[in-house]
Amino acid sequence: MIKISVLGSTGSIGTQALEVIAEHPQLFSVEVLTACRNADLLINQARRFVPDTVVIADEQFYHKVSEALSSLPIKVYAGSEALEQVASYSSVDLVLVALVGYSGLIPTIRAIEAKRRIALANKETLVVAGKLVMSLAASHKVPIIPVDSEHSAIFQCLAGEYASIDKLYLTASGGPFLHTIVQDLAKVNRQQALAHPRWNMGAKITVDSATMMNKGFEVIEAHHLFGVAADKIEVLVHPQSIIHSMVQFDDGAIKAQLGEPDMRIPIQYSFTYPHRAKTSSPRIEWATYPTLSFMKPDANKFRCLVIAYEALRRGGNTPCVVNAANEVAVEAFLSDRIAFTDIARIIESVMERTSFIEEPSLDDCIASNIEAVRIASEIIQ
Ligand code: MN
């Protein structure tokens, strides 16, 4: 029985993780559930799974949650400090980090320090402080198992391999604007950006997919997880999203991991690794996909992808700055305060206006995040 903490249980990954857990009650149990502010769903989940502890990060919902669960043997806490504390519970075997954005960083670090196995769905943790997080995990001998579908695919391709990697192919659906001409991008609205053709995800990551910043962050994530340089990671647009990513080895052989787009598979693999368990996920009907197609992403249209590569090449605190500027810009776009094409423009000017730190400490990352959020907010105003 694997005891699991689900950090971010009310989001897209969190709810699917609970479906996986519910499908295998003999394999998995829930020890901790945390949510940001979706108190109603958190209460329902807690009643169903009866974890040891629940945390609601937004303190104004504490009374609502604790009263609703008062008849059950569940500890209820509120606030971001409580979230960091439960991440280090020693009664837990595995911590699924499914928090959104920068907020995933400190809980992930606490879980690593407590030597808990990490299933990482929060790519921003590695974008913001990948070098620090990976070296901390190595020194504590903590495995970080990727949940992101592309990285899970690569991780699965590498299982049992001793060969060195010649190249990684990260596949991308291309998002809702794959066929939009670049001149029309400035006019696209929030509804259009949120209509992802292949994956059903939360709002922030869906906008990141539309700009392809999500893929850019995944390049940075892959760099840290697999120790591969930026120029050996190629993004390949593959609209069917059947090949989830590929590894090319030194002899030229390529391994790919395939399947219908279904996040429950990489989530479950991160729980069962190095084993597998049955799922009820839909199997591929190959005749439905007579053609699998591939193309290079359009660098003029997807500026954010170019920015992410540039951030990785510059290194230091640049990816952290880009992430912060992106979070502010995406939020502004989602509340109709800026145009879609302003997102890349804002990130670029924040990059030029923040101070560069070659080898950032954790405190430097925290300070860089604050500085970049401030500058991005000023630009938007
Ligand atoms: Mn992904």
Residue 201: helix, strand or coil by DSSP?
coil
Residue 198 has pLDDT above 90, yes or no: no
What does the alpha-carbon distance between residue 344 and residue 326 come to, in Å, rounded to a whole number? Answer: 8
pLDDT at residue 199 tops 90: no
User: Where does the pLDDT of residue 196 fall: very low under 50, low under 70, confident under 90, or very high at 90 and above?
Assistant: confident
Chain mean pLDDT for the chain:
96
In Å, the largest CA–CA distance within the chain is 61
Q: How far is CA 135 from the centre of its chain?
A: 19
- What is the reported pLDDT for 47? 98
Phi-psi region of 37 (alpha: psi -120 to 50; beta: other; left: phi over 0): alpha
Tell whether the model's pLDDT for residue 197 goes beyond 90.
Answer: no
Neighbours of ion ligand 1 (CB under 5 A): 148-150
- Please give the distance, rounded to the nearest whole angstrom, from the Cα atom of residue 278 to the centre of ligand 1: 22
For the segment 298-322, the average pLDDT, to the nearest whole number, is 97
Do 154 and 247 form a contact (C-beta atoms < 8 A)?
A: yes
DSSP annotation of 84 reads: H
Ligand 1 centroid–CA 245 distance in Å is 10
Q: What 3-state DSSP class applies to 32?
A: strand
What is the Å distance from ligand 1's center to 147 Cα? 8
What count of Cα atoms within 13 Å lies in the side-chain half-sphere of residue 281? 19
Contact 193, 326 (CB under 8 A): no
The tens digit of pLDDT for each residue in 69-124 reads 999 999 999 999 999 999 999 999 999 999 998 999 999 999 999 999 999 999 99
How many Cβ atoms sit within 10 Å of the Cβ of residue 164? 9
pLDDT digits (tens, 9 = 90+) for 20-76: 999 999 999 999 999 999 999 999 999 999 999 999 999 999 999 999 999 999 999
* 284-304 average pLDDT score: 96
Q: What percent of the chain has pLDDT over 90?
A: 97
pLDDT at 168 > cutoff 80? yes
Helix, strand or coil for residue 53? strand
Strands in the chain per DSSP E = 2-7, 28-35, 53-56, 75-78, 94-97, 117-120, 144-146, 165-172, 233-237, 243-249, 254-258
* Beta-ladder partners of 75: 53
148 CB-contact burial (10 Å; exposed 0-12 / middle 13-18 / buried 19+): buried
Provide the whole-model pTM: 0.96
- CA distance linking residue 86 with residue 55, whole number of Å: 8
Domains of the chain: 2-146 (3.40.50.720), 151-314 (no CATH)
- Is the pLDDT assigned to residue 141 strictly greater than 90? yes
Output the six-digit token pair for 188: 């696209």
Is the pLDDT score of 283 beyond 80? Answer: yes
Mean pLDDT of 354-373: 97
Assess contact for 203 and 194: CB atoms under 8 A: yes
CA of 263 to the centre of ligand 1 (A): 9
What separation in Å is there between the alpha carbon of 121 and the centre of ligand 1?
9
Inform me whether the pLDDT recorded for 246 exceeds 90: yes
Dihedral sign (CA 176, 8, 259, 302): positive
**Is residue 209 very low, low, confident or very high in pLDDT (cuts 50, 70, 90)?**
very high
| SS3 (DSSP) at 29 | strand
CA of 305 to the centre of ligand 1 (A): 14
| Apex 367 CA angle, 129 and 108, nearest 5 | 35
* Distance of CA 149 from the midpoint of ligand 1 (Å): 5
- CA 240 to ligand 1 centroid distance, Å: 14
Q: Given a cut of 80, is residue 301 above it in pLDDT? A: yes
Q: What is the mean pLDDT of residues 340-362?
A: 97
Contact criterion met (CB below 8 Å) for 215 and 257 = no
Integer Cα distance of 356 and 264 in angstroms? 39
Alpha helical stretches, state H, 143-212: 149-158, 190-193, 203-211
- Cα of 134 vs centre of ligand 1, distance in Å, is 19
CA angle 19, 20, 26 (to 5 degrees): 115
Nearest to 75 by CA among 19, 9, 22, 31: 31
